[in-house]
């Protein structure tokens, strides 16, 4: 696929100068001209601003006509008075949708806890109209994050691929590897070149080193082990229709609109769909690792919070369902060997795993306020990190490099040198550290996302959330956002 542009084309808002407009005062013809914000008072330039903004809606993944905007320009030209009121309502619905409220809260899955801050579209629109800055208001509606901008650009790129006829389906020719040749290799090369400009579609029908490298790039793009051999898993990913990829991008654009508008310079981003965690300092990624998120049925929720406590040598208070279904049936010998004890408390008898090398939470956990009681944690079981599909937990997020994350977060905490961390861990004593500077944490579910170098990556939708997002998004009546 062509490189994604570094930035998206900005919305173009220009007043249309007609014979009628020429007769109005010059300030009224400017896109930013002031008015009361009532439909009847909208100036010609403001009308054009709103029409131009609404014309961009499909580029954000909304269905054409989702806001009741189709045909409005013609009706306005014909002097239809009701069209002005409908234009205003369409603009308000569009504003709410870009601010993450296209799907009403009542229609959201309970696990979709991430939701952008409350937004009063009516008040913001009126204030912008009165101040003569509707154009600036419209431009500020979409998320400004680089991830959203890149994914929106990818949506446009894949629409172009669709318009050109998509890509050919690869036949089942077994695993292709270095040294192979023939029509199947030529077809593979041509298919890879549709999304990867570095793969030369016309370089022949021999599986050479350059093609092996292109295969590895594709495998990384789909979250597969980069073997350089085109096997059945890669063929399945490559044969996914472009329409399905467009649907994935649409769903992920919507989920990005739910996130906080302000992504802090110091933050932790976990992508449950990809099984990846990236840590940022000063707006730059400084630590990346694999992660194991919740399995289907125990999905890791979507949320935004702040890590405010780190627990070294944590105990594990086992949820009753896990205790009764998975642990207690294994018998007293298993419980003793892995350090489980039953403790009595206000909520009755509880199974607790003591700190130690077998503790399911490893040596450290990271706590943040949320209604799901999930957290990030270490693990003694590292095998899952070698898997392509790492959705295996009960909902919390296991970290491949949890101790490195603890060292990083505690590096700004007074009194917590690396030596003190090591000494505390060696003691085996449970120690909770309250961070002086809590760090933003985002738990996301991105099945399509932009990677470094302008590459769009895709992952399987193991939770089935993409289809659910689009079903609920497209079920809304025009202009109802």
Tens digits of residue pLDDT in 289-320: 999 999 999 999 999 999 999 999 999 999 99
Tens digits of residue pLDDT in 433-458: 999 999 999 999 999 999 887 899 99
pLDDT of residue 12: 28
pLDDT of residue 400: 98
pLDDT of residue 36: 60
pLDDT value at 162 more than 90: yes
128, 366, 404, 411, 423 from 427: Cα distances, Å: 60, 19, 19, 20, 6
Enter the tokens of residue 269.
């981003």
Q: State what percent of residues in the chain have pLDDT above 90.
A: 82
pLDDT of residue 454: 81
Q: What is the DSSP string of 138-151?
A: HHTSS---HHHHHH
C-alpha to C-alpha distance for 443 and 254, rounded to whole angstroms: 15
pLDDT of residue 10: 30
Higher pLDDT, residue 298 or 19: 298
| Beta bridge partners of residue 277, listed in sequence order | 270, 289
CA count, 13 A, side-chain hemisphere, 377: 24
Q: State the DSSP H helix or E strand holding residue 443, giving kind and residue range, or none if neither.
A: strand 431-444
pLDDT of residue 116: 80
Average pLDDT over residues 73-80: 91
Residue closest to 476 by CA, chosen among 65, 52, 54:
65
Residues with Cβ < 8 Å from 238, sequence gap 6 or more? 167, 170, 188, 191, 192, 218
pLDDT value at 2 more than 60: no
Q: Are 362 and 404 in contact (CB under 8 A)?
A: no
Q: Are 216 and 75 in contact (CB under 8 A)?
A: no
Residue closest to 315 by CA, chosen among 375, 271, 229, 274:
375
Q: Are 3 and 196 in contact (CB under 8 A)?
A: no
Q: What is the DSSP string of 302-337?
A: BEEEEEEEEEES--EE--HHHIIIIIGGG-HHHHHH
pLDDT tier at 117, thresholds 50, 70, 90: confident
pLDDT value at 13 more than 90: no
pLDDT of residue 23: 32
Average pLDDT over residues 56-83: 93
pLDDT tier at 15, thresholds 50, 70, 90: very low
Q: Are 292 and 384 in contact (CB under 8 A)?
A: yes
Q: Are 481 and 30 in contact (CB under 8 A)?
A: no
pLDDT value at 11 more than 80: no
Average pLDDT over residues 335-353: 88
Q: Are 274 and 387 in contact (CB under 8 A)?
A: no
Tens digits of residue pLDDT in 198-247: 898 888 899 999 999 999 999 999 999 999 999 999 999 999 999 999 99
C-alpha to C-alpha distance for 213 and 221, rounded to whole angstroms: 12
Give Dmax (Cα) for the chain: 91
CA 335 to chain CA mean position, Å? 39
Higher pLDDT, residue 13 or 417: 417
pLDDT tier at 35, thresholds 50, 70, 90: low
pLDDT tier at 37, thresholds 50, 70, 90: low
């Amino acid at each position: 696929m062509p490189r994604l542009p570094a930035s998206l084309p900005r919305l173009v808002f220009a007043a249309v100068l007609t014979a009628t407009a020429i007769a109005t005062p010059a300030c009224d013809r400017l896109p930013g001209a002031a008015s009361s914000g009532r439909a009847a008072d909208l100036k010609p330039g403001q009308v054009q601003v709103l029409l131009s903004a609404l014309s961009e809606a499909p580029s954000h993944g909304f269905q054409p006509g989702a806001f009741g905007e189709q045909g409005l320009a013609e009706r306005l030209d014909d002097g239809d008075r009701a069209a002005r009121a409908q234009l205003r309502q369409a603009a308000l619905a569009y504003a709410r949708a870009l601010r993450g409220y296209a799907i009403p809260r009542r229609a959201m899955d309970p696990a979709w806890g991430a939701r952008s801050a409350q937004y009063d579209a009516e008040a913001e629109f009126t204030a912008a109209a009165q101040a003569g800055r509707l154009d600036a208001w419209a431009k500020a509606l979409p998320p400004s994050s680089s991830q959203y901008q890149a994914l929106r650009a990818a949506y446009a790129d894949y629409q172009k691929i669709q318009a050109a006829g998509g890509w050919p389906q690869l036949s089942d020719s077994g695993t292709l590897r270095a040294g192979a040749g023939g029509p199947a290799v030529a077809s593979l090369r041509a298919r890879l070149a549709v999304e990867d400009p570095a793969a030369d579609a016309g370089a022949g029908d021999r599986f050479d080193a350059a093609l092996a490298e292109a295969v590895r790039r594709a495998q990384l793009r789909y979250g597969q082990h980069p073997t350089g051999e085109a096997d059945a898993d890669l063929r399945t990913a490559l044969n996914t229709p472009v329409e399905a990829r467009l649907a994935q991008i649409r769903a992920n654009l919507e989920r990005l609109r739910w996130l906080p508008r302000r992504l802090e310079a110091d933050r932790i981003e976990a992508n449950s769909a990809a099984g990846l965690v990236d840590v940022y300092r000063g707006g730059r990624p400084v630590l990346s690792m694999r992660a194991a998120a919740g399995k289907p049925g125990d999905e890791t929720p979507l949320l935004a919070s702040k890590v405010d406590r780190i627990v070294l040598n944590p105990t594990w208070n086992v949820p009753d369902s896990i205790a009764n279904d998975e642990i207690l049936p294994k018998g007293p010998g298993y419980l003793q060997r892995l350090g489980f004890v039953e403790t009595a408390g206000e909520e009755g008898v509880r199974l607790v795993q003591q700190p130690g090398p077998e503790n399911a939470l490893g040596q450290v956990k990271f706590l943040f306020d949320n209604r799901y009681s999930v957290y990030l944690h270490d693990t003694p079981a590292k095998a899952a990190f070698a898997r392509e599909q790492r959705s295996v937990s009960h909902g919390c997020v296991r970290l491949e490099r949890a101790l490195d994350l603890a060292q990083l977060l505690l590096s700004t905490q007074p009194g917590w040198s690396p030596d003190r961390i090591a000494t505390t861990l060696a003691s085996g004593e449970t120690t909770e550290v309250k961070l002086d500077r809590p760090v933003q944490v985002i738990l996301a579910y991105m099945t399509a996302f932009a990677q470094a170098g302008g590459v769009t990556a895709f992952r399987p939708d193991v939770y089935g959330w993409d289809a659910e997002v689009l079903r609920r998004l497209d079920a809304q009546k025009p202009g109802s956002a």
